[in-house]
Amino acid sequence: MSEEQQYPSAGKQAKNIVNLVQDVIGDVLKGNQLFATDEEQKRRMDICKACTYYSEEDVRCRHCGCFLQQKTSLTASKCPIDRWKKN
C-alpha cells in the first residue's frame, strides 16, 4: 500500500497539524498543562493501538496522519474519531 493510500493528503495532514498547534498555543496561553500524564499518554496510545486506523509500522494514525507518540503526549490533542478527547 502506498503512503498516498495509507494516509490523508499532505494538505489535510498540514491542516490537522495547524489545528493542533492552535489548540496547544491556546492551552499554553490559558496556563494549562502542556503534556498529558504518563498514565493518560498510555491510555490514549492503548486506545490507538486497538483502532483499525493504527499503523503499527509507523506508529501513526491512518485517519489523521499524526505521529501518535507526539499526539498522545499533548493535552490539547484529541482523536479525530472521538475515541479519546483532550484533557
Q: Which three cell numbers stand for residue 3?
A: 503512503
Question: What domain range is 32 assigned to?
Answer: 6-71
Instruction: Evaluate whether residue 79 is within a structural domain.
Output: no
Predicted TM-score (pTM) of the model is 0.86
Instruction: Evaluate whether residue 46 is within a structural domain.
Output: yes
Tell me what pLDDT residue 87 has. 67
Tell me what pLDDT residue 31 has. 94
Instruction: Evaluate whether residue 83 is within a structural domain.
Output: no
Show pLDDT as tens, one digit a residue, over the chain (87 residues).
444 458 999 999 999 999 999 999 999 999 999 999 999 999 999 999 999 999 999 999 999 999 999 999 999 999 999 999 876
What residues contact residue 64 under an 8 Å CB cut-off, 6+ apart?
A: 8, 12, 13, 16, 80
Q: Which three cell numbers stand for residue 34?
A: 502542556
Count of domains for the chain: 1
